[in-house]
Amino acid sequence: MPATPAYPPHSAPRLYVDAELADGAQIRLDGSHAHYLLKVMRIRQGDPVKLFDDRTGEYLAHVSALGKRDLILTINGKTRGREAVPDLWLCSAPIKKDRFNWIAEKATELGVAKMIPVQTERTQSSNFKHEKLRAHMIEAAEQCERTALPVLAPQLKLPELLGQWPADRHLFFADERIHESGEGSFRKALVAHDGPAAILIGPEGGFSDAENDMIRALPRSVPVSLGPRILRADTAALAAISLWMAGRGDWNPR
């Protein structure tokens, strides 16, 4: 007797909707959501769809009416509450657009709570589109099954970011110049510093000396090395977030 498939099938489409959801509610989807379900997923009457609202949690719904360019979903029940997200921010200087979109996507998958684009002296490309970046994060959250979206903050200049830095939050400052000094062991930094945290990654050209001094002057800044090789900013972001998540985040089985 074949095992009964876990319902809903893992392949059920999963969408973020910017409206508070509730058990038994009906929701009308049009625009890109409808296009994706109708044309890409070829969804049919009665098919399951998972929805989450970044407010109350995730729900299972089914298609209760199909239109040409819209459809009605009826919510059957809540599957999960809105998750607690590890309290890690990523402060990252914008880099070339496709790579910056990639950082936003990976930070979302890895569990970051907030991303703050930081304009630095050597930032070459800060003409990223905030809405596009957020769309990449939403898509990543839909795919990796987050029930809470990361926050995408407005871009700040480095002095603004540091000037308003929360007193209780450690800033792990990825500094590629300290490996030789023996300073900057990420492992030791994780052991020494618990609580709210952030990771700061520079642009392709790195931080200037003045910026380096400014960052180190912050009481809670913690310079960390990511090894003896010079990583691209996107590689550095992924590596640093992963180290923090494994050491202080929610990757360890409870």
* Interface positions with ligand SAH (CB under 6 A): 174-176, 179, 201-202, 205-207, 225-227, 229-231, 233, 236
Nearer to ligand SAH, 72 or 231 (CB): 231
Identify the DSSP state of 4.
P
Count Cβ atoms within 10 A of the Cβ of residue 3 and give its class: 0-12 exposed, 13-18 middle, 19 or more buried.
Answer: exposed
DSSP-derived pairing of the beta strands 71-81 and 88-92: unpaired
Cα 94 to Cα 157: distance, rounded to the nearest angstrom: 11
Q: How many residues does the chain have?
A: 254
Query: Minimum CB separation from ligand SAH for residue 76, in Å?
Result: 46
Query: Minimum CB separation from ligand SAH for residue 178, in Å?
Result: 7
Nearer to ligand SAH, 47 or 175 (CB): 175
Q: Note whether 233 and 204 are within 8 A (CB).
A: yes
Nearer to ligand SAH, 83 or 204 (CB): 204
Helix (H) or strand (E) holding 121: none
Nearer to ligand SAH, 56 or 212 (CB): 212
Query: Minimum CB separation from ligand SAH for residue 173, in Å?
Result: 7
Nearer to ligand SAH, 202 or 249 (CB): 202
Query: Minimum CB separation from ligand SAH for residue 204, in Å?
Result: 6
> Cis (ω within 30 of 0) for the bond into 159?
no
Q: Quick one: which of 145, 171, 175 has its CA closest to 88?
A: 171
* Two tokens, residue 33: 């959501």
Query: Minimum CB separation from ligand SAH for residue 95, in Å?
Result: 8
**CB-closest chain residue to ligand SAH:** 202
